[in-house]
């Protein structure tokens, strides 16, 4: 078992303590990974390493941005309404999503600064690229600073979760989430959750989660999806490399 990044349940011992960690752990790990690869020593690199900029936004726009959007949509439209039938939830749990989505949009559109930098005279291009990278780092820092306490607030309701729902009842909610994602959504999200779970989860956590997932989803993940996910993940991981390991083709990993 690897390190759990949750400050609320750093050592989950029951189904309810682990319930929200399945989507939250990969979110926190991706935020940490973004912060790491966007350090000045890696990013954006000299102009001849413009591929690092392309790779970051390929990963962000094709994967992270739509995945977090979809995660919030599922919470607002499916999970929280079911929980509120038996529990009282703080309005901030959904209200926070507006600010987080705004920051997600700002990161998405920050790519324009890098594109515009290339329009300047050659002697000015690198200074403009460095300014764009500094702006991007600040936006990612803001996203992380807003996201982490929000995720912690959501996880704090899991103590009450076991008072109002049985494990079997919560598993039915998880199955509804899986069904709501459809084929394309599961292809994108499931290997992301699964890879993270294999890092932080105990054998019991993994077994409990597998019990909620339809067998065809598990089979497709093992046979195809995890491989596709790792290829897309390389767009982010490659940023700390000196040479581009990816063939010059744009990723397409959409819902």
Mean pLDDT of 105-125: 97
Tens-digit pLDDT profile for residues 1-49: 468 999 999 999 999 999 999 999 999 999 999 999 999 999 999 999 9
Per-residue pLDDT, 255: 47
Tens-digit pLDDT profile for residues 145-190: 999 999 999 999 999 999 999 999 999 999 899 889 999 999 999 9
Per-residue pLDDT, 2: 65
Tens-digit pLDDT profile for residues 192-251: 999 999 999 999 889 988 888 889 999 999 999 999 999 999 999 999 999 999 976 554
Per-residue pLDDT, 251: 47
Instruction: Give 90-144 as a 3 state SS string.
Output: CCHHHHHHHHHHHHHHHHHHCHHHHHHHCCCCHHHHHHHHHHHHHHHHHHHHHHH
Tens-digit pLDDT profile for residues 78-112: 999 999 999 999 999 999 999 999 999 999 999 99
């Amino acid at each position: 078992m690897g390190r759990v990044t949750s400050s609320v349940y750093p050592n989950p011992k029951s189904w309810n303590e682990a319930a929200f960690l399945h989507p939250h752990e990969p979110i926190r790990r991706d935020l940490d990974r973004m912060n790491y690869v966007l350090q000045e020593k890696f990013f954006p690199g000299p102009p001849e390493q413009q591929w690092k900029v392309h790779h970051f936004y390929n990963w962000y726009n094709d994967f992270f941005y739509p995945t977090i959007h979809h995660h919030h949509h599922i919470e607002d439209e499916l999970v929280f309404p079911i929980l509120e039938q038996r529990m009282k939830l703080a309005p901030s749990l959904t209200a926070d999503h507006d600010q987080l989505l705004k920051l997600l949009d700002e990161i998405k559109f920050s790519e324009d600064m890098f594109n515009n930098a290339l329009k300047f005279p050659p002697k000015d291009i690198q200074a403009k690229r460095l300014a764009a990278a500094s702006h991007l780092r600040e936006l990612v820092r803001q996203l992380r600073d807003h996201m982490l306490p929000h995720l912690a607030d959501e996880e704090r309701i899991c103590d009450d979760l076991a008072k109002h729902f049985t494990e079997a009842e919560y598993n039915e909610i998880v199955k509804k989430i899986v069904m709501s994602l459809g084929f394309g959504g599961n292809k994108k999200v499931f290997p992301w959750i699964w890879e993270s779970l294999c890092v932080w989860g105990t054998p019991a956590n993994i077994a409990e989660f597998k019990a909620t997932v339809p067998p065809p989803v598990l089979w497709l993940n093992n046979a195809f999806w995890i491989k596709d996910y790792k290829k897309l993940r390389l767009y982010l991981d490659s940023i700390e490399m000196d040479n581009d390991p990816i063939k010059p083709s744009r990723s397409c990993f959409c819902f």
